[in-house]
């Protein structure tokens, strides 16, 4: 019987818990061993749980697909945390405690980001106007970082906003390093002088949130941590903060109080 080590290999979207690349836990027999001070995602755990007994067994069957199956994805379509399940020899122990890795759990919170509740989006597109107005002083959909996608016959409205992915693919995709994280807000920023306008970031974005204007991508910088689109959202479909907590900015009506 194998023991298992389950390692976060990649965060393709944004994980709120957060899980970060390199985080791991171990499965020993019927026990789950979590390094001191660390945590695991219950949803990912639930999704992966049926795989653990199968991976633990020493079975060699013709056409067995188990040995070559190493990667699992958590069920959150916005999170897309990729886990790698490794078989390890029996008896090996967990790695040293978190303290040795310089992680303080209390301070280890995700940065605030745009939170979207599509169910209450009224489709008014005020967020597009607020964004372009703040950035340029004009009202222009083509200058807006946020776009509302509509399906009128079915009454669906979906604001497409930058999710500020924890492991941002746009940053990775940029061949010249024109995208970087803001040190304080952690928002993705563009260095326009370096950008060559190749479009790799837009292609890499899984949420369709990057638009181009005059050959350069419109990158949401969260208005320096004070997003103006949220200020104009009448229904609170757009908020700014951490998932699971009271939002830092909760829409136009909340701002009035």
CA atoms within 13 A on the CB side of 65: 3
Pick from 207, 238, 190: nearest CA to 78:
207
> Rounded to an integer, what distance in angstroms lies between the CA atom of residue 26 and that of residue 28?
6
Site string for other proteins, 95-134 (x = CB under 8 A): ------------------------xx-xxxxx--xx-xx-
> Least distance from C-beta 156 to other proteins, angstroms?
9
The strand pair at 81-88 and 71-73 is best described as antiparallel
Of residues 142-181, those binding other proteins (CB under 8 A): 142-143, 149-150, 152-155, 157
Number of residues interacting with other proteins: please give it, by CB under 8 A: 32
Residue 214 engages other proteins in binding (rule: CB under 8 A): no
SS (H, E, C) 10-64: EECCCCCCCCCCCCEEEEECCEEECCCCCCCCHHHHHHHCCHHHHHHCCCCCCCC
Q: Which of 2, 141, 202, 206 binds other proteins (CB under 8 A)?
A: 141
Residue 139 engages other proteins in binding (rule: CB under 8 A): yes
Residue with tokens 């303080």: 104
Q: How far is CA 162 from CA 40, 135, 170, in A?
A: 26, 16, 11
> Least distance from C-beta 230 to other proteins, angstroms?
13
Query: For residues 101 and 122, which CB has a smaller minimum distance to other proteins in the complex?
Result: 122
Do residues 169 and 239 lie in contact, with contact meaning Cβ atoms separated by under 8 Å? no
Query: For residues 93 and 149, which CB has a smaller minimum distance to other proteins in the complex?
Result: 149
Pick from 191, 255, 195: nearest CA to 227:
255
> Least distance from C-beta 254 to other proteins, angstroms?
10
Site string for other proteins, 223-252 (x = CB under 8 A): ---------x-xx----------------x
Residues that bind other proteins (CB under 8 A): 119-120, 122-126, 129-130, 132-133, 136-143, 149-150, 152-155, 157, 232, 234-235, 252-253, 256
């Amino acid at each position: 019987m194998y023991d298992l080590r389950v390692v976060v290999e990649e965060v393709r979207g944004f994980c709120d818990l957060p899980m970060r690349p390199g985080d791991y836990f171990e499965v020993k027999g019927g026990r789950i061993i979590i390094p001191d001070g660390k945590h695991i995602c219950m949803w990912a755990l639930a999704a992966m749980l049926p795989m653990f007994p199968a991976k633990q067994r020493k079975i060699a069957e013709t056409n067995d697909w188990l040995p070559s199956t190493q990667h699992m994805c958590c069920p959150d379509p916005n999170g897309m945390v990729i886990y790698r399940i490794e078989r390890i020899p029996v008896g090996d122990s967990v790695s040293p405690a978190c303290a040795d890795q310089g992680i303080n759990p209390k301070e280890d919170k995700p940065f605030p980001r745009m939170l979207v509740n599509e169910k209450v989006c009224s489709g008014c597109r005020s967020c597009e106007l607020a964004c372009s107005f703040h950035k340029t002083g004009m009202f222009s959909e083509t200058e807006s970082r946020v776009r509302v996608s509509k399906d009128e016959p079915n009454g669906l409205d979906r604001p497409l906003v930058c999710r500020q992915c924890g492991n941002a693919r746009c940053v990775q995709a940029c061949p010249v390093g024109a995208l970087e994280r803001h040190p304080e807000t952690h928002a993705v920023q563009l260095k326009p002088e370096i950008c060559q306008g190749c479009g790799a970031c837009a292609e890499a974005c899984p949420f369709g949130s990057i638009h181009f204007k005059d050959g350069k991508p419109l990158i949401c910088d969260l208005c320096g941590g004070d997003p103006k689109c949220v200020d104009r959202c009448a229904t609170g479909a757009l908020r700014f903060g951490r998932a699971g907590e009271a939002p830092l900015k909760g829409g136009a009506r909340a701002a009035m109080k």
